[in-house]
Amino acid sequence: MIRPAELIERKRNGEVLGDAELAELILGYARGEVPDYQLAAFCMAVYFRGLNAAETYALTDAMIRSGTTLDLSAALGRKVVDKHSTGGVGDKTSIAVGPIVAACGVPVGKMSGRGLGHTGGTLDKLEAIPGFDVNLTTERFVEQIREIGLAIVGQTEDLVPADKQLYGLRDVTATVDIVSLIASSIMSKKIAGGADAIVLDVKVGDGAFMKTLEDARVLADAMLELGRRAGREVVCLLTDMDQPLGAAVGNALEIVEARDTVRGEGPPDFTELVLDACARMLAFSDLGIDVEEGRRRAEAAVADGSALGVYERWIRAQGGDPDPAALPRAPVVREVPAATDGYVTRLGAIDVGHAALHLGAGRRAKGDEIDFAVGVVCRVKRGAQVAAGEVLAEVHARSDDDAERGAAEVLAAYDVGDDPPREQPLLLDVVA
C-alpha cells in the first residue's frame, strides 16, 4: 500500500523515514504508480529537510532495486574500476581517461550520462563522432570490454530506471542540487553497473552543482558513506570548476581536445586531471600498484602511443570514425579579443557553459537536438597575462548572428584586471 501524500507530509515536517517507506515511494514511482507531481513535492521536501545517511542509503538501494544490475566483475573475471564526475563545463575527462587506463591493462566499462543544464554529458560528446553508437546490448558491452578493454555506453533502460525518471523530474523542478539526491543518483548507477572501486571527481565552483568546498566535502562524504555501506572502495577528488576544464567547451571540440590529451598534446590543466584520475584508477585496480606507479604507467601509455591506439580501436568498435577530420565543424569561427591589457582574474565556468548552450551545444529543454559542431575554445585561462586585442577565446557558431551573441557572452565571462589573481590549484582536496 503506497501512501505518498503521508510520506511527503512527514518529510516536509522533518521526520526521518524508514527504509521500507522510501523503497515503497521510489519503487512505486518507477512502476508508474506514484505520479511525477508527488515525487516532485517529495524532492522539494528533501531539499529543505534533507535525508540522513541511513535514508540516503535506503533511497540508493531502492533506486538500484528499481531495475536490473550488472555483475561486470564476474563477467570479466577482474576487479572493475569506474570513475564518475558530478558534472561541469568542458569536462571530457572520461573520454581521455578510458583509453589511457585500458592501455595500462585495466578494463573500463562505463555508463555515462547526457548533459544537464549548462553542464555537458559524455554521451552527447561521443555522439558528435559520426557513426558512434552509445546503445550497446549488455552482451556486446561486455564483449567489447573483453576485446578492446573499453566501452562507454548510455544507461540501459533497465539499469536504475528510477534514476532516469527522477533525474528528468529534478532537472525541471529545481531539485538537482541536493546532496542526498546527487549522491544516490551517482552511486546507484555505479553500484548497479558493477563497479568494485570508484574514483569520483567532485566539481567545486560556479560551474558545478556544489559551489563551495564545504558543500563539496559534504557531497563527497555522502558518496563515501554510500560506498562503504555497499562494500565498494571510493576516493573523491575535489576539483576546481570556477573556470572551464581545459580549453574546449562543445561536443566535437571536446572530442578533439580529449584525443589530443590521449596523445600527450592536451591543455596542461586537463592533462593533469586526466593523469591523476588514471593514476588513482590504476592504484584501485587489480594490478597491485600504488598511485605513483599508476601515474608513471599512465604517462608511459600516453608517450608510447598505446593509449591513442586504444582510443582508435574503441571509437571504431562502437561504429565511429576516430579521425578528427571526420568531426562536424561550425561554419563560423569568431575570435574574441581582450579589451584591455592585464591579467585574466576570472573566467566564469557557468558563463562559458551558458554561451555554449545558447550556441546550441546543449539542450534548453528535454529532447532538444544538439548542434555538435558549435562551442567555445578558451585560448587563455585564469592567471594569464594578456594584451589588448589578444585573442581570449574562439566562438564556433552556426551563423554570424549566433557568433556575435556568443562572442559578447564569452567576453563577459572574462574579467581582466591589473593584478594577477591568487593561484588556485585544480586539485583542491582528496577524500577517501
Catalytic residues: 84, 163, 170, 185, 189
Distance CA 181, CA 177 (A): 8
CB nearer to ligand URA: pick between 181 and 191: 181
Please identify, among the stretches 55-63, 67-75, 176-184, 297-305, the one whose residues bind ligand URA according to the rule CB under 6 A.
176-184
Distance CA 69, CA 50 (A): 27
Using the CB atoms, write b or e for 126-144: b if 16+ within 10 Å. Answer: bbbbeebebebeeeebbeb
Task: Check if the beta carbon of residue 249 is closer than 8 Å to that of residue 378.
Answer: yes
Q: Where is 377: in which H helix or E strand? A: strand 375-378
CB nearer to ligand URA: pick between 80 and 176: 176
Residues 6+ away with beta carbon under 8 Å from 49: 11, 12, 13, 14
Binder among 4, 28, 67, 87 for ligand URA (CB under 6 A): 87
HSE-CB for 318 with a 13 A CA cutoff: 29
Nearest-approach distance from CB 108 to ligand URA, in angstroms:
18
Nearest-approach distance from CB 182 to ligand URA, in angstroms:
4
Distance CA 18, CA 51 (A): 11
Which residue's C-beta sits nearest to ligand URA? Answer: 185
Q: Which three cell numbers stand for residue 112?
A: 555515462
Interface characters, 125-164, with ligand URA (x: CB under 6 A) = ----------------------------------------
Q: What is the full DSSP assignment across 194-228?
A: T-SEEEEEEEESTTSSB-SHHHHHHHHHHHHHHHH
What number of chain residues touch ligand URA (CB under 6 A)?
A: 8
Answer yes or no whether residue 86 interacts with ligand URA by CB under 6 A. Answer: yes
CB nearer to ligand URA: pick between 187 and 235: 187
Distance CA 138, CA 146 (A): 12
Nearest-approach distance from CB 350 to ligand URA, in angstroms:
15
CB nearer to ligand URA: pick between 98 and 267: 98
Q: What is the full DSSP assignment across 224-244?
A: HHHHHHTT-EEEEEEEE-SS-
Among candidates 213, 183, 162, 176, which has minimal Cα distance to 36? 162
Please identify, among the stretches 27-35, 71-79, 175-183, 275-283, the one whose residues bind ligand URA according to the rule CB under 6 A.
175-183
Nearest-approach distance from CB 387 to ligand URA, in angstroms:
39
Nearest-approach distance from CB 163 to ligand URA, in angstroms:
7
Binder among 108, 129, 186, 282 for ligand URA (CB under 6 A): 186
Nearest-approach distance from CB 113 to ligand URA, in angstroms:
5
Please identify, among the stretches 72-80, 98-106, 177-185, 291-299, the one whose residues bind ligand URA according to the rule CB under 6 A.
177-185
Distance CA 58, CA 204 (A): 26
Binder among 94, 144, 165, 185 for ligand URA (CB under 6 A): 185
Interface characters, 107-126, with ligand URA (x: CB under 6 A) = ------x-------------
Residues 189-248 that bind ligand URA (CB under 6 A): none
Task: Check if the beta carbon of residue 411 is closer than 8 Å to that of residue 426.
Answer: no
**Residue 116: DSSP 8-state:** B
Answer yes or no whether residue 182 interacts with ligand URA by CB under 6 A. Answer: yes
Contacts with ligand URA by CB under 6 A lie at 86-87, 113, 176, 181-182, 185-186
